[in-house]
Amino acid sequence: MTADGPRNAPDVVDVVALGESMVTFLPTRPGRLADVPSFERGIGGAESNVACALAAAGHAVRWVSRVGADGFGDHLVETIGGFGVDVSSVARDPSRPTGVYFRTAGDRSTDAHEVAYYRAGSAASAMTADTVDPAAVRAARVLHLSGITAALSPGCLELVRALTAPAPGRPLVSFDVNHRAGLWPDADGPRVLLELARGADIVFVGEDEAEEAWGITGGPAEIRSALPEPGVLVVKQAAKGATAFVSPAGPQAPGPEAAGPEAAGIRAAGAARVGAAAPRRRGQAIAPPAQPQPADTFVPALDVDVLATTGAGDAFAAGFLSATLRGLPVKTRLRHGHLWAAAALTVPGDLAPPPARAHADHLAALDDGTWERLRLGPGWTQAGKAPEEVRTP
C-alpha cells in the first residue's frame, strides 16, 4: 500500500463509505471535561459508523479514508476492520495525525454537553480527488457521503463535489447532510450542503438542521420543495418519526457493472478522467420494491429508553440503506431505520451492533398499533422476541 492507498482493481461491494473517523474519548463518569479524571477509548465518524453497522449486518462494505501513520490510526483501521469492513483503501499519512475528540457523558441535547475536537490538519482533511483511489470509491452499489467531509478542507469539498456530480455509471449516491456549523470556515456551508444534496440520489436530513441551515420551518413538505431532485429524501423528525419522499421514478439503482472503467474518474464533468481496470464483480443490482411506492410515507419513531444520542442518526441511515439494498418497501425501510437507531440510542458509545435481521424483520412487520406501543431499552437487540418489548395498552 502506498501513502495514497492501493491502486489495484477492487471488488464491487454493497456500500462504500467515504469520510473521516476519529478516536473518541468517553468519560468514565459524568461531569465537565475539566473534572473528569479518566476516559475510555472508542471510535466515531459519521461514515465509518454507517460502514460498521452495515458490515455487522452482513453487507459487503468498504471504508475509504486517510488516517495518520500513528497508533490512533492503527486503532481505527483495526477496529473498523474488526466489524468486517474492507479497510484496504484507507491511506496512511506520515505527516498528518489521526483526528481525536473528547466528549462528556451527558446527552448532546443538553447545555451541559461538551465536545472538544482535535481534527484540524488531520490526515482525513488531506483527502482530495488526487489522493483517493477512484476505483475503490466507485466500485459499489451505493456510495455513502456526508456534509461533514465537505467541511473539512477545500480539497475534501472538491472531492465530494466530484462524487456527487452527474457521471456515467455513477453508483447510487447516499448523502447525509450532517450540518455542523462549527466546521465550516465561512457562511457558505448551508448553500454548499444544499448544492451537494441536490446532486445525490438518497438524502438524509433532520428537520431541525434544515431549519438551522436553510431557515426552513414548514416541515417535511417544505424541505421537499427545497430538495425536489433526489429520488429519495428522508426527513428525520427527532422523537416524532421520519418522512420519506420518493419521486415517481425513484433513485436509479445501479448494477455491479456501474463501477467499471467508465465510472472510475472522480473529476467534475469536463475534467480529465482517471482510468481503472474493470473490478472483480460481486453482488447484484438493488431490487426495486415489488409494488409502487407512495410519494410520501411517515413512520412514527419508537419509544426508547435513551442512554445516549450519539451515532443514532448514522444508525438510522445504515438501517434505511440496508433495507434499500434488500429492495424492501419504503415504509419498511423507515422502520428498519428507526430500529437501528434504537440500537444506537440504547448504548453509551457511538457504535452499536444492529439487531439481527430476523429480529428486525419481525418487529418491522408489526401492525401499526403494535409498532406504536413498542418500547425498547438497553439490551433489546439481544432479547429476541421477548414479550416485554411490547407495551400493551
Q: Which residues are catalytic?
A: 314
364: left (phi > 0), else alpha (psi -120 to 50), else beta? alpha
What does 149-206 look like in DSSP terms, one character per residue?
A: HHHH-HHHHHHHHHHHS--TTPPEEEEE----GGG-SSTTHHHHHHHHHHT-SEEEEE
From the number of C-beta atoms within 10 Å of its C-beta (0-12, 13-18, 19+), residue 301 rates as buried
CB 151 within 8 A of CB 125: no
- The three-state secondary structure class of 73 is helix
Rounded to whole angstroms, what are the CA distances from 218 to 5, 171, 208, 210?
45, 32, 11, 10
Segments of the chain assigned E as strands: 13-18, 22-27, 39-44, 61-68, 90-93, 100-103, 115-118, 140-146, 172-176, 202-206, 232-236, 241-246, 296-300, 303-304, 375-376
Q: What does the block give as the cell for 296?
A: 410520501
C-alpha–C-alpha distance, residues 390 and 3, integer Å: 52
How far is C-alpha 306 from the chain's CA centre?
Answer: 20
Q: At 314, phi and psi to the nearest 5?
A: -65, -40
